[in-house]
Structure formats: C-alpha cells, structure tokens
Amino acid sequence: MMHTMFMNPKPSPATSTLSLTPSATPEIMENFADLVNYPSDLSDDSDSESGDESSVADDERQSHRLLAVPKLKRRKLDVPYHEQRRLLRNKRKSDELDEFQSAYTDIQKLNKAKKTKFVGGLQGLQARRAHAMESALALVVKNGRHLIDASQRAAETHGFAMAWGSRMLRSWIRHWMKTRELPKSMKGRHVKVFTLLSDPTIAAELRAYLRSNKWAVDPEKLAAFSANKLIPAVADEYLRNITENEMPRGLKKYMEYELFPRIHLKVGWGVSLSTARRWLRREGFRYISHKKGLYFDGHDRDDVVAYRQNIFIPTFKSYEHRLVRHVVGDVGTELVVQPENYVER
C-alpha cells in the first residue's frame, strides 16, 4: 500500500518525495505522517494553501492537454488568385505595348519630317540617337523582342557600345515616352574649373571697372574718333587696339594689383591676356562696327509721283464735300456746311 501511494509520477512541488528502503529506522517511520502531509491532518490554512497549489497544478496539467487551434477555412474566390495575376500581367503587357506603339509612331514621323532640325545636322549625334531609338522600338513593336535585347541590337547597329550604349538607349526611350523630347548631348556643358566670374560680387566689380575707365591712350585720336574725322581704316585699327590690347591689359593689371589682394587671393602666374579677353567677351565687350543706315522710301520715283498726282489726289478731292470740317484755328468746333441738294449727308 505504501508503495502504491508513492508511485505518483508528478508529485506536488509543496511535498517532497521520499523513497523508503528496508533499512529505514523506526524514527523515520514514526515521523512519516508529518512528512507526507495528509489532508486530514492539516489545518484550515494549510488546506487552503494546498488547495490553491493543487488547482494550479491541475490548470498546468489541463493546459498541456488543450487541443491545437483549428486552421481557418480556405476562402473561395470568384476568380482564383493565380487567374487574377495572369489577367493583370496580360493587361500590363498590353498597356506597355500600346505605349511602345505610340512612341514608335511619333519618332518615326519625327525622323521622316523635313521640318525636323537635329542638333549637329542629319549626321550629328542627336540624329544617330533618334534613329537608334526608332530601330529599338521597331524591334519591340514589330518583332516582339524584349526591350533589353532590342536595345542591344539597335545600339550595335548604329555604332554604340552593346552594354553601355544599350543602357543609354533605354534611358533615351523612356525619356521620349514620357516627354516626347529627343536626348540632348551634355558635351561641353560641365564646368571643369572654378572661375572668378562665377562670384557675382567679383563679376560686378570687374564690370564696373571696365565701364568706368576711359580706354584711350591718345587723347587726340579719341577726340578725332568722336568727331568722325578719322579715316575708316585708322578708326578700325584704333578700336581694335583698344578692345584687343588696352582693355585686357588694364583688366589684368587691375585684378593682379587691386582685386586679388583685396579678396586675399595669392597671385601665382597672374591672369593671361587670353583669359582677360575671354572674360571681356563673356561680359559683352566685343569689337563691332557701328554704322548709320539710310532708308529710302521711294516717294520721288516716277511711278509713285504719277499715281499720287493722277489717281490718289483726284479721288481724295472727290470725297472732300463729304468730310467733316472744323473752324480754322479752333479744332474743337465743327464747321456746319449746308449741302447743295439738302439731301446728302
């Protein structure tokens, strides 16, 4: 009986497990009841504590025995999901093909139009790009090729690299499909070095210096030039010397001795005359020949005089009795003239 009582596989945490052996002493047997803690021997407090512990153990035991949550039932769609994906994929392909067709039609019309002016002419880079785009779109629309394959074939055909050229060709096609604009070359549009004219303050100072100084070495020649007394060849040479030599040298001297020390810029080799001339051209200082043009309207030609005397003046004279007249010396007062037949206005 004692053996069967101690065969519980999961003893309570509050009680300790004790194994009895044949060599157990009588004192252990006598105190065995105190160690086992029978429910009948415990007080009310111990009963409540043991009850709580047993309920916790039962809850733990039941939690291990709970069944798994059943899976949700599979929802049945009117149109299966894979069929929806297939329809959406087909619609996307159809829309993309329509866009390619429209882009191909437009660029084909652009290349064939006589009014189209490419940058660099018909043999320029922009024209080559436009024809390469047309070839790639034709392969996509007519032959059903993928855009990557079509761009590689078109790039090699028109003299571009297969890898990088095809990638650029696809970017040109996407830009054309969005904006209907041909790609523009960025060659020569990147600033490689910093120039002082990029600073608006320095550019304004240089402009003020150039316009405030009188660029004339010889005052006599300047006076003669202002009075139009110089021979045209001499005046031309005089102006060219001012714009090509004197102004660039004065600008170079001003920058090296005044402007650079003011902005704490160390002067190395200085500014060359070619750089000064280039800055002058950038600011609008150019050598031009100013001439006064005369306009002859032909009012004294023989045919004009004959028309005026024989046709225009007699016709205008015939309408004179119908014109409104004013008092001489008083333009605001109308002169009332009684018509001869009292009928005509």
- Tell me what pLDDT residue 16 has: 43
| Chain centre to alpha carbon of residue 290 | 43
Does residue 44 form part of some domain? no
- Tell me what pLDDT residue 68 has: 72
Task: Pull the structure tokens for residue 254.
Answer: 């001003």
- Tell me what pLDDT residue 244 has: 75
Q: Which of 122, 153, 179 is the last residue of a domain?
A: 179
Q: pLDDT band at 18, cuts 50/70/90?
A: very low
Asked if 210 and 248 sit in the same domain, the reply is: yes
- pTM equals 0.39
* Domains: count for the chain: 3
- Tell me what pLDDT residue 179 has: 92
CB–CB of 161/198 below 8 Å? no
pLDDT higher than threshold 50 for residue 328: yes
Asked if 164 and 96 sit in the same domain, the reply is: yes
Does residue 49 form part of some domain? no
End-to-end CA distance of the chain: 151
Does residue 328 form part of some domain? yes
Does residue 167 form part of some domain? yes
Asked if 239 and 309 sit in the same domain, the reply is: no
Specify the DSSP class assigned to residue 187: T
Does residue 265 form part of some domain? yes
Residue position matching structure tokens 């031009």: 288
Could you read off the pLDDT of 295-307 as tens digits, one per residue? 677 888 899 999 9
Which structural domain, as residue segments, surrounds residue 308?
A: 302-335
Rounded CA separation 234/139 (Å)? 66
Asked if 98 and 163 sit in the same domain, the reply is: yes
Asked if 228 and 274 sit in the same domain, the reply is: yes
* Percent of the chain with pLDDT strictly greater than 90: 28
Proportion of the chain in helix, strand, coil states, percent, rounded to 5: 60, 5, 40
Asked if 263 and 325 sit in the same domain, the reply is: no
Length of the chain (residues)? 345
Asked if 214 and 134 sit in the same domain, the reply is: no
Does residue 61 form part of some domain? no
Q: What is the mean pLDDT of residues 227-252?
A: 73
- Tell me what pLDDT residue 242 has: 75
Asked if 115 and 166 sit in the same domain, the reply is: yes
Does residue 160 form part of some domain? yes
Q: What is the mean pLDDT of residues 292-321?
A: 86
Does residue 295 form part of some domain? no
Q: pLDDT band at 152, cuts 50/70/90?
A: very high
Residue position matching structure tokens 């090296």: 256
Asked if 314 and 278 sit in the same domain, the reply is: no
Asked if 99 and 175 sit in the same domain, the reply is: yes
Asked if 159 and 217 sit in the same domain, the reply is: no
Rounded CA separation 271/191 (Å)? 19
CB–CB of 210/281 below 8 Å? no
Which contacts (CB < 8 Å, 24+ apart) does range 142-151 have? 147/173
Q: What is the mean pLDDT of residues 137-153?
A: 93
Rounded CA separation 97/92 (Å)? 9
Mean residue pLDDT of the chain comes to 76
Asked if 215 and 242 sit in the same domain, the reply is: yes
pLDDT higher than threshold 80 for residue 216: no
Q: Which of 152, 179, 206 is the last residue of a domain?
A: 179
Could you read off the pLDDT of 62-112 as tens digits, one per residue? 555 666 777 777 778 888 888 999 999 999 999 999 999 999 999 999 999
Q: Which of 145, 179, 213 is the last residue of a domain?
A: 179
Q: What is the mean pLDDT of residues 275-288?
A: 75
pLDDT higher than threshold 50 for residue 13: no
Task: Give the angle subtended at the CA of 134 by the CAs of 181 and 178, to the nearest 5°.
Answer: 30
